Amino acid sequence: MTELNGKIAAVTGAASGIGLASTEAMLAAGATVVLVDRDEKALETICGRLGERAIPLVIDLLDPNACAGLLEGVLSKTGRLDILHANAGTYIGGDLMETDLDTIDRMLNLNVNVVIKNVRSVIPHMIERGTGDIVVTSSVAGHSAIPWEPVYSPSKWAMTCFVQTMRRQLLKSGIRVGSVSPGPVISALLADWPEENLRKAKEAGALIEPKEVADAIIFMLTRPRNVTIRDIVVLPSAFDI
């Protein structure tokens, strides 16, 4: 598959989970991918395995100064940017009264503020070039109020709104904006799930692999330019929400 031949992509949170699967899928489709993550050692290992079209960029997106340098860092390595997959995020669940206040700040900063700032950083470059694709990793929790996710679910509802507003702001600039909204994905983020919920989900087949989400992202990116997939929900067939 070579549908993304010549494209330059940047993927945040690229060292694991959906970000890594998205990176691998874009590389397989012919793109060059800048892997953005704070885990320098993981990026070194991954890029060594994936080859020369996988380019590491170590950034702690929760550091405001480092976050502001995202586009500059990408352009210093590739000269341009065609695709941004704003994927970095974190998860917490459980009762709100048992949630640490600093953890709430970290989640909302990473899941909401960082995404908005990353998109803000790249759109002048894309507008100048008259083309671009922005894909945000949201969640089915951004479409349904999940009672055991009182912080995570609102953060993804914010992304549902953000994607829809930015699609309309940028539709005349040649830039497509969409989100992929998975159900539960087998990844490190599920480490915070209540043990009983995780056990039941595994037994019921109510989890999907990151690759299934990456396949949906490739579908979004390879539509004709007159077609935008604004949001695609990817669920395990046995997921009962």
CA distances from 164 to 158, 160, 169 (A): 10, 6, 9
Residues 6+ apart with CB under 8 A from 144: 153, 241
Tell me the C-alpha distance between 9 and 233, whole Å.
Answer: 22
- Catalytic member of 152, 157, 162, 193: 152
Q: Do 103 and 92 touch, CB atoms closer than 8 A?
A: yes
Distance CA 117, CA 66 (A): 11
**What backbone phi and psi angles, to 5 degrees, belong to 184?**
-60, 130
**Catalytic (active site) residue 91:** no
Report which residue type is found at 146: I
Q: Which helix (H) or strand (E) holds 32?
A: strand 32-37
Which residues are catalytic, by number? Answer: 152
